[in-house]
Amino acid sequence: MPAFAIPTLPSPTLINGQSSIPPPSAESFDTYFGGFLPQRHTLTSELGQTAYYLLSNIPSASASNPSAPEIKPKPIRRAILMHGGSTPCINLVPLAKDILTLPNSPPTQILLYDLWGHGLSSTPLLPPTQSLFHYQLLQLLATLHWPRVHLLGFSASGSFAVSFAAQHHTLCTSVTLVAPTGLLRSSSVPYSTRLVRSGGPWGLWRGAAQRSILYLVDGGRSPTPPEGWRGRVARGERLYDMEAVQVWQRENHRGHVSMLVGLYYWGGLFDLHDAYAVVAKGPVGKKALVILGEHDVVFGGESFRKELERVEWRGDVVVMEDVGHLIVREKPKETAELLGRYWAKYEEDLDG
């Protein structure tokens, strides 16, 4: 058993007969960002719905040559990419596509999905603990009948990935953590900041707490999409801009901001060292890769690397040059090439 505790999920909370805040309509999302993702699928559970997408480089049966000699199929590489806290999974489309077009890439299937409270997924009426996101991920694995996967968590989902691997290492071929949360220490946050973000007595400072947390999530500035982006879309332009996605999400997803605030309190942003240590010392330890941005002062600085040393991290740590926190958005091709090399090595180890 792991040496840290991840609480199990309580029974769903019901308010007016509902266990979750519903997501925006698919039509609203597609009006602005339709066409960038493949066919959408929806998984429904007692906690709400999860929107997910499958990308693949495997030719369809109809496109194959029926007269070609039968060749023993190669094992399928399966990967799940989890997005960060401020944008839904559309943020990872460039990375997924670059992975699928790697030279000599094996048959590959990639799952992208919207975390609870993001994109077109519901917001359960429960605290957003690690277990809540484990449950969502386990549901998807069961639905797809995927026995093992390469699991990647970016930013906020880095803590979900590492705690999931600590609890369910047999489901992970490898684990990759890109600019992950979890190794910050809550004790390092100034007392005045902690006091504001606590919400104050009886929640009197709730508004100030929310603004402070969103300021942290936004990296110190509000999302700034291109000027006139709505009009450009209305005139038929296909717009792929992550800050426009952020603005749309906050305006249309009634559970999103509360999810961001909840993630600060319960989502593993701080003090998840025990989970990192379990992974480091367990079967996945040498197959756990951390990718940091050279200029990411919060999740990539020297203090962060020292925290990895303290948990006796055995996997590789790679620092991506000339990039800050937004590695998957700003360096998708380089990240894909790195993943391709490491995944191949992990698969060889598994076969051996």
Dump the DSSP string for 38-72: --EEEEEETTEEEEEEEEE-SPPGGGS-TTSPP-P
Lowest mean pLDDT among 11-25, 48-62, 301-315, 316-330: 11-25
User: Which residue from 160, 176, 157 is spatially nearest to 168, judged by alpha carbons?
Assistant: 160
- Taking the C-alpha atoms of residue 196 and residue 210, their distance in angstroms, rounded to an integer, is 9
What distance in Å separates the CA atoms of residue 324 and residue 282, rounded to the nearest whole number? 30
pLDDT at site 349? 60
Residue 65 has pLDDT above 60, yes or no: no
Residue range 315-328: mean pLDDT, rounded: 94
Q: What is the pLDDT of residue 252?
A: 96
pLDDT at 71: 56
pLDDT in tens, 218-230: 877 788 898 998 8
143 CB-near residues (< 8 Å, 6+ apart): 43
pLDDT of residue 16: 66
Q: Report the 10 Å Cβ neighbour count for 221.
A: 7
Q: Which two tokens stand for residue 144?
A: 């797809």
Higher pLDDT, 239 or 119: 119
Percentage of residues in the chain having pLDDT higher than 70: 90
Q: Which structural domains are found in the chain, ordered by start? A: 20-57+75-184+223-351 (3.40.50.1820)
Can you tell me the distance from the alpha carbon of 57 to that of 45, in angstroms, rounded to the nearest whole number?
Answer: 29
Given a cut of 50, is residue 66 above it in pLDDT?
no
Q: Is the pLDDT of residue 69 over 80?
A: no
Percent of the chain past pLDDT 90, that is, above it, reads: 68
pTM: 0.91
Token digits of residue 315: 């996997």
Q: Which residue has the higher pLDDT, 195 or 153?
A: 153
Going along the chain, which residue ranges are E strands? 20-21, 40-45, 48-56, 77-82, 108-113, 123-124, 149-154, 172-178, 288-293, 317-320
The two three-digit tokens of residue 74, written as one number: 């190669």
pLDDT in tens, 235-285: 888 888 999 999 999 999 999 999 999 999 999 999 999 999 999 999 999
What's the chain's average pLDDT? Answer: 89
Q: What pLDDT, on the 0 to 100 scale, is given for residue 342?
A: 95
Average pLDDT over residues 140-164: 97
pLDDT tier for residue 302 given thresholds of 50, 70 and 90: confident
